[in-house]
Chain A
């Protein structure tokens, strides 16, 4: 498996998370002058997006991320996103956080699966980063941080061979294996079947560097072409127009990784249809994880780099609901199938004294952040 997968996994999932949060915040926002104290406004939305993006692209965090390492479990990764989603004044209930994570992972799984060339996974990542830069285009400080990460991606990945990219892609696909949560926006657009499997089109442009299938050429021992024959299939492929850009700025051409949500298309997930995989999921929960210690180390290192802002003073944070009503959210929490529970790692609940002391120290260090203006009201920038 590739030890260079984590940055791509994290950034793309993070990008999807931001798309979804942005859409939900817009859907729930009220014009400033009409809003009550506990309702979202546009200013709030921008602030949440800024806060999360700033936390995500924190230099120390990125350094840890880019170190060659194995991918850890879905549980461990989910814990990082839990923290990230709470990097601002926004709060999410368990049910909404579960739904958010389901949507993020299924979206990125789809993008990885449909990547024409293994290298195109980088273009998908760039699409996400281009969109993130647009979210914070009014904040040059954060923009700089994102550009730094962009440059690091180009430096780390540009020189990899197709074989190495294919290994990264396979590592990601194994991470997402057996996940078949149905997403209504995918079902409506007919990119996902009702059994949760994605539709793989057999038409459209072939990847850059591939020829349209059909031609057989025969050469004699002098190297001259002596015969041409053709064969046909049900596929209906065409030559691609141009290659996407791998530079800091440019037309990526590929649409995978761009924002598919909009205010008018709410996103829902369906929990059923995964019972066939119950056996494998049940096994995962029962067998003690031999990597548990490494996972905690990984989390400690990664979260140690995240500077999370706790809401100060009397501010309690504003709750975002990923469902249409509070009742729906409650119902989702109660009816979520056991095999799909993420069982988020609760760091504070660690029993082992040595580990606890270590993590307490790291969590303690999070309080001693760079001096920054204390948040005193939701209207403050």
Chain B
């Protein structure tokens, strides 16, 4: 996996591979850090201004890195040991977290989700137990955790309490990708069943219930969708990739 990690003071190119985690200056010129790992599989990486840079391992550890504004003095500042299975995804709060809600969520192969508050130190706020299904993708917005599972379900949880607020029988196959448009709360889901769906998340101000409604379905004929991303922060356009597909398909509102 490769990711641009945009931090307040610098941009790093982070590559995860069989050798472990490697970090480069944004022009790829110098390798500034290398954390070797024994078993190498898919390693999710996440970075943002508030939570810094974190990476998940296949043994379930979440490594949090301390990145100085310049130079190569990068160290592992924390090792979070709450998961027992390979980390599948890490996501940070994309909107405004209500009081008490966490700002980072980590998901694993078994389907367990952990919600953290970041800051000086990472603190575990709540742990959402697995229900027997792998969680491959997760997003956090305005205190709502959106999780996509291998059995095709999307579930919404309250980040502050870990309570289940919505359950959607969204897809007929494994959900590979979730993306969220922070300005509107639109959620994009892509799965192996060839479908991409757009949903709208919201909070009912009277009941304080989390709501989710279906906006649009797109069938990418004969394609198992592997990646799906909004192309703008309002969610008016999105791009899709699939297995055996050498093109990226872009969709926009007419």
Q: A163-B86, A166-B134, A206-B152 are in contact. Are A212 and B169 (CB under 8 A)?
A: yes
Specify which chain B residues have a CB less than 8 angstroms from the CB of A207 in the assembled complex: 151, 172-173
Interface residues of A in 158-197 (CB under 8 A from B): 161-164, 166-167, 173, 177-178, 180, 193, 197
Q: Are B223 and A200 in contact (CB under 8 A)?
A: yes
Question: Whole-angstrom distance between the alpha carbons of A237 and B195 in the complex?
Answer: 13
Chain B residues, Cβ within 8 Å of A163: 85-86, 88, 109-110, 134, 136, 150
Closest CB in chain A relative to B20 CB, distance in Å: 15
Contacting residues, chain B, for A167 (C-beta < 8 A): 41-42
* B150/A214 in contact, CB under 8 A: no
**C-alpha gap A223/B209 in the complex (Å):** 11
Could you say which of B62-70, B98-106, B160-168 contacts chain A?
Answer: B160-168
> A114 to chain B: closest CB distance in Å?
10
Residue from B86, B168, B194 in contact with A200 in the complex, judged by beta carbons closer than 8 Å: B194
Chain B nearest CB from A274 CB (Å) reads 12
Cβ contact within 8 Å between B164 and A223:
yes
A116 B150 Cβ-Cβ under 8 A:
no
B residues within 8 A CB of A193? 222
Is the beta-carbon distance between B109 and A161 smaller than 8 angstroms? yes
Stretch at the interface among B30-38, B71-79, B210-218, B227-235: B210-218
Q: Is A202 an interface residue (CB 8 A)?
A: yes
CB distance from B248 to the nearest CB of A (A): 16
CB distance from A180 to the nearest CB of B (A): 8
CB within 8 Å for A161 and B134 given contacts A206-B172, A210-B172, A213-B171: yes
Complex contact A173–B152 (CB within 8 A): no
- Whether B5 is near chain A, meaning CB under 8 Å from some CB there, is no
Q: Which B residues are in CB contact (< 8 Å) with A219? A: 163-167, 209
Chain A residues with a Cβ closer than 8 Å to the other chain, count: 46
Q: Is A229 an interface residue (CB 8 A)?
A: yes
Complex interface residues of chain B between 91 and 145 (CB less than 8 A to chain A):
109-110, 132-134, 136
Residues of B within 8 A of A221 (CB): 158, 161, 163, 165, 208-209
Contact residues in A for B169 (Cβ distance below 8 Å): 211-216
Q: Does A199 contact B (CB under 8 A)?
A: yes
Instruction: List 19 additional contacts besides A161-B85, A163-B134, A216-B168; criterion CB under 8 Å.
Output: A118-B174, A162-B134, A163-B86, A163-B136, A167-B42, A177-B244, A197-B222, A200-B194, A210-B152, A215-B169, A216-B213, A218-B166, A218-B209, A219-B163, A219-B167, A220-B207, A221-B209, A231-B214, A276-B246
Complex interface bits, B218-244 against A, C-beta within 8 A gives 1, otherwise 0? 010111100000000000000000011
Cβ A220 vs Cβ B209 within 8 A: yes
**A55 vs B85: C-alpha distance when bound (angstroms):** 38
Q: A102–B152 Cα gap in the complex (Å)?
A: 33
Which chain A residues border B197 with CB–CB below 8 Å?
Answer: 233
Q: How many angstroms from the CA of A197 to the CA of B245 in the assembled complex?
A: 10
**Mask: chain B, 78-90; 1 = CB below 8 Å from A; 0 = not:** 0000000110100
Q: Which residue of B lies closest to A169 (CB)?
A: B174
The answer on a CB contact under 8 Å between A202 and B219 is: yes
When distances are taken between beta carbons in the complex, the residues of chain B under 8 Å from A218 are 165-166, 209-212
Decide if B193 is an interface residue (CB 8 Å cutoff): yes
Q: Closest chain A residue to B223 by CB distance? A: A200
The answer to whether B244 and A197 touch across the interface, beta carbons within 8 angstroms, is yes
Q: Cβ of B153 < 8 Å from any Cβ of A?
A: yes
Q: Please, what's the 1-or-0 string for B172-185, where 1 marks a CB less than 8 Å from any CB in chain A?
A: 11100000000000
Contacts of A197 in B (CB 8 A): 222, 244
A276 to B245: give the CA distance in the assembly, Å.
Answer: 12
Task: Tell me which of B110, B151, B172, B213 has the highest count of chain A C-beta atoms within 10 A of its own C-beta.
Answer: B172
Which size bracket describes the interface of B in this complex? 35 or more
The A interface is mostly helix, strand or loop, or mixed, namely: loop
Cα–Cα, bound, A233→B217 (Å): 7
A215-259 CB contact bits vs B (8 Å, 1 = yes)?
111111101001101010111010000000000000000000000
Residue of B nearest to A229 (CB): B213
Pick 23 A–B contacts, CB within 8 A, sort by A.
A113-B224, A118-B174, A162-B134, A163-B109, A163-B134, A166-B150, A177-B244, A200-B193, A209-B132, A209-B133, A210-B172, A213-B170, A213-B193, A217-B166, A218-B165, A218-B166, A218-B210, A219-B209, A221-B165, A231-B217, A233-B217, A234-B219, A235-B172
- Given A177-B244, A218-B166: A233 touches B158 (CB 8 Å cut-off): no
Q: How far is the CA of A164 from the CA of B211 in the complex (A)?
A: 33
**Is B150 in contact with A237, judged by CB distance below 8 angstroms?**
no
Across-interface contacts of B134 in A (CB, < 8 A): 161-163, 166
A315-B208 Cα distance, complex, nearest whole Å: 84
A198 touches B (CB below 8 Å)? yes
The interface residues of chain A lying within 8 Å CB-to-CB of B217 are: 231, 233-234
A161 touches B171 (CB 8 A): no
Least CB distance, A381 to chain B, in whole angstroms: 46
Task: A51 to B34: give the CA distance in the assembly, Å.
Answer: 52
A357 in contact (CB, < 8 A): no
Asked whether A1 is an interface residue with its Cβ less than 8 Å from the other chain, the reply is yes
Give the CA-CA distance A154 to B224 in the complex, in Å.
28
- CB under 8 Å from chain B, chain A span 37-89: none
Residue of B nearest to A109 (CB): B244
B85: chain A residues at CB < 8 Å are 161, 163
A234 to B194, CA, bound (A): 11
Q: What residues of B have a CB within 8 angstroms of the CB of A116 in the complex?
A: 173
A235–B243 CB distance below 8 A: no
